Amino acid sequence: MTRFSVRTVRAPDRAVEPRYDLSTRLGALVLPNPVLTASGCAASGRELDQFFDVAALGAVVTKSIMLEARSGRATPRMAETPSGMLNSIGLQGPGIDGFLEHDLPWLRERGARAIVSIAGGSVTEYAELAGRLRGAAGVAAVEVNISCPNVADRGLVFACDPRAAASVVSAVRDRSAPTVPVFAKLSPDVTDIVAVARACVDGGADGLSMINTLLGMAIDPDTMRPVLGGVTGGLSGPAIRPVAVRCVWQVHAALPDVPIIGMGGVRSGLDALELILAGASAVSVGTAVFGDPGAPARVLTELRHALVDRGFAGVRDAVGHAHRPSET
């Protein structure tokens, strides 16, 4: 079990600006605030719920669910890097049956909004997962993970090809409930992320999640061998935040009406604000929870103060603000 270095966490401050509008819209989905968990860093929220009320967040984004239960890749599967972390967990999880039986009902009982991340090895698998989720109580949105870089077969990274990405998204959109938004999770490891984003939207995506981790690796200078059992893994943490900001900026500039969930190295309210100013309508907090499991609640409090201090009437007024012409 992961050992956390626990610090005191201040719950979201409702005494400050009690009528302040933190709500945000992700397509047809309206959330009470824009701070979410990031897929893969909090399973389905049970671990974090002992540190703060997960229902107080805008939503819980689950670890990517596949059709069958998976044990993941060989150990060691995590390695610390300068300003970040490498992981090669490999989509370990209970499979769709276990998720529907145990995790989704728990989230619903807690009153949390669930954005369910799904992953598959083929278009057919993604479609089947979407069909299994259709009609399941408590699904607020579906995040289509077409970009995980730490699986054994790099051919699974559909997000590296616009046509492949669009085919997966189209299949999921067709099998999902019409009222449930579908978000495509994009990889930064591409030449033109705007082209992939546009293809996903053309394929039926209601919004986009960006970015997933970057493919990286580390070598131990003592053993002179790769640190990770799977050799390569996904790089996350503060080191990738400038990449995330750039990707969100580029896609929002090209597709300003498409809602974006921004993620990548968010540790503070100001980090979250940076992604919102670039064009994100919501922000996921991921790697930060390994050192501070109360980080999502803290980020929400800090973001509220950052927005108030800068004179924004609400979150929606700040989305994409950095794209506006400078006042002279």
Spell out the per-residue pLDDT of the chain, length 328, in tens: 333 343 434 444 444 455 789 999 999 999 999 999 999 888 889 999 999 999 999 999 999 999 988 666 778 999 999 999 998 887 777 799 999 999 999 999 999 999 999 999 889 999 999 999 998 999 999 999 998 654 445 555 788 889 999 999 999 999 999 999 999 999 999 999 999 999 999 999 999 999 999 999 999 999 999 999 989 999 999 999 999 999 999 999 999 999 999 999 999 999 999 999 999 999 999 999 999 999 999 999 999 999 999 999 999 999 999 999 987 5
> Which of 148, 160, 200, 247 does the annotation list as catalytic?
148
Q: Calculate the alpha carbon distances from 117 to 26, 96, 168, 183, 257 in Å.
A: 15, 11, 14, 9, 23
Contact criterion met (CB below 8 Å) for 261 and 13: no
198 vs 59: CA distance, rounded Å:
25
> For position 3, what pLDDT does the model report?
39
Q: Are 55 and 112 in contact (CB under 8 A)?
A: yes
- 3-state SS class at 313: coil
> What count of other Cβ atoms lies within 10 Å of the Cβ of residue 28?
14
Coil, helix or strand at residue 175: helix
Q: Which of 82, 87, 32 is nearest to 64 (CA)?
A: 87
d(CA 260, CA 252): 8
Based on the residue annotation, tell me whether 148 is a catalytic residue of this protein.
yes
Q: How many angstroms separate the CA atoms of 231 and 114, rounded?
A: 32
Cα Dmax for the chain: 58
- C-alpha angle with apex 110: 104 to 112, nearest 5 degrees? 70
Name the residue among 125, 141, 164, 176 with its Cα closest to residue 59.
141
Q: pLDDT value at position 13?
A: 46
Task: Tell me what pLDDT residue 156 has.
Answer: 55
| Residue count (the chain) | 328
| pLDDT score, position 158 | 84
What pLDDT is stored for residue 121 in this prediction?
A: 86
Confirm if 59 and 122 have CB atoms less than 8 A apart.
no
